[in-house]
Amino acid sequence: MLNKSINEVMNTIPLPDDFEYQIINTTDGILKKYVYHITGITQEEYNMIKKGETLNITRDNVDFKILPDNILCFGKIDFNKGSEDCATLDTFKWLSNLILTGKHIPSNYNYETHSCTSPNSKMLWTETFKVSVLCRYLHGCIGKPELTLIFKEII
């Protein structure tokens, strides 16, 4: 008979954090398609955004021309669970096109260590419909930069 609790057999799985940007979601509008992205920014890029300038950046060999009207959030965003910033993120409808299946994130995700736990050595997945939960995970994937930019791209 097995006498170990599930917590004693959980394995910690470190997750990659070396992406320069991540796609939050893609939605279809009337005659347009929107792609929502998250990336880190430098202090110089932050200052350009504050001045209302168009930002030209390259992330993971992809070029982006970001107009001021397409910037949704920027700066020091608090992705910790229960933060005011997370409550604000959850007001955005970036995942509203999802009907039955949410966005996939690792089960038992730990933002502080950017890892997940599993009773075996394989990562398990769960779904979320909450923007803050997805952004917290994606912020970890881009290395948790101090200054973050969330923007939409119209294609």
The answer as to whether 1 is a domain residue is no
Total residues found in the chain within this entry:
155
What is the domain range of residue 108? 10-154
Number of domains in the chain: 1
Q: Answer yes or no: is 40 within a domain.
A: yes
Q: Identify the residue whose tokens are 């994130």.
A: 105
Burial of 93 (0-12, 13-18, 19+ CB in 10 A): exposed
User: How many Å apart are CA 44 and CA 84, to the nearest integer?
Assistant: 26
Per-residue pLDDT tens digits for 84-118: 999 999 999 999 888 888 999 999 999 999 999 99
pLDDT tens readout for residues 28-71: 878 889 999 999 999 999 999 999 999 999 999 999 999 999 99
- SS3 label, residue 43: helix
Compute the distance between CA of residue 42 and CA of residue 94 in angstroms, rounded to an integer.
Answer: 25
Q: Please report whether residue 4 resides in a domain.
A: no
